[in-house]
Amino acid sequence: MSHDFGLDPRRVDPEYDRHGGFPVFEAAQPGPGFGRFVAAMRRLQDLAVSANPSVDTWTDVADRAEALVSELAPFEAGEGVGPANRVPDLPGAGSLLAPPWLVEKFEADEVRLRVTFSRFHVGGNYAVHGGVLPLLFDSLFGMVIHAAGRPISRTGFLHVDYRRVTPIDVELYARGWIREAEGRKAFVNAELRNSDDELLAEANGLMIRLLAGQP
């Protein structure tokens, strides 16, 4: 199940427009070329941290990378305008910032993801960098808030406990849910497990609904 990007947050938060101008993210349909581009860029990220070619090869690929930057630069747009993070059918919704997750369940009681980390996410000894997991959990917290129909919120705190080494190149499973809600506060839990249902990491955090005028 994908994000319901069509849910207008103004329906549940009349003060939404006064919260620092957060854009309303609606689903984008950029065509198959964008999906191919994101997939190639993810692979390129892996190679950027693992390849060891000759000096001449680095010069050649740097020239081509700079040419690609020049080609795309005239089209740079504001937040919520480009398709990145707005294509629910693509891993990570088409955002290179996010680990490549896919949504399995997107309901008020729980959000579930499938995620596979790769060489780009390695911290050492072929294990996922510890700093990548808070990024995954924070993204999941935001999905949990949205799925529950709560108004736009920011992270008050996020605590992660690392239980096992998180591997790359295998499909893992993350889930998040609201443990307790009180007024502007929502306390959220999440966990990451492998295919044997072993707990790799767990998180808890506080999501706070923004007041009018807060960015």
Say how far apart CA 208 and CA 205 lie, in whole Å.
10
Mean pLDDT to the nearest integer, 179-190: 95
Q: CB 3: neighbour CB atoms within 10 A?
A: 20
Say how far apart CA 66 and CA 207 lie, in whole Å.
39
Say how far apart CA 162 and CA 202 lie, in whole Å.
7
- Domain residue ranges of the chain, discontinuous segments joined by +: 9-209
Q: What is the mean pLDDT of the chain?
A: 90
Question: pLDDT (tens digit, 9 = 90+) per residue, 137-181?
Answer: 999 999 999 899 888 899 999 999 999 999 999 999 999 999 999
Predicted confidence at residue 24, as pLDDT, reads 65
Say how far apart CA 40 and CA 45 lie, in whole Å.
9
pTM of the model: 0.87
Predicted confidence at residue 154, as pLDDT, reads 92
Predicted confidence at residue 18, as pLDDT, reads 60
Amino acid identity of residue 173, one-letter, is: Y
SS (H, E, C) 141-160: HHHHHHHCCCCCEEEEEEEE
The token duo for 187 is 């306390």
Question: pLDDT (tens digit, 9 = 90+) per residue, 14-66?
Answer: 666 666 556 667 888 889 999 999 999 999 999 999 999 999 999 999 999 99
CATH architecture of 9-209: Roll (3.10)
Amino acid identity of residue 195, one-letter, is: S
**Selected residue with higher pLDDT from 189 and 15:** 189
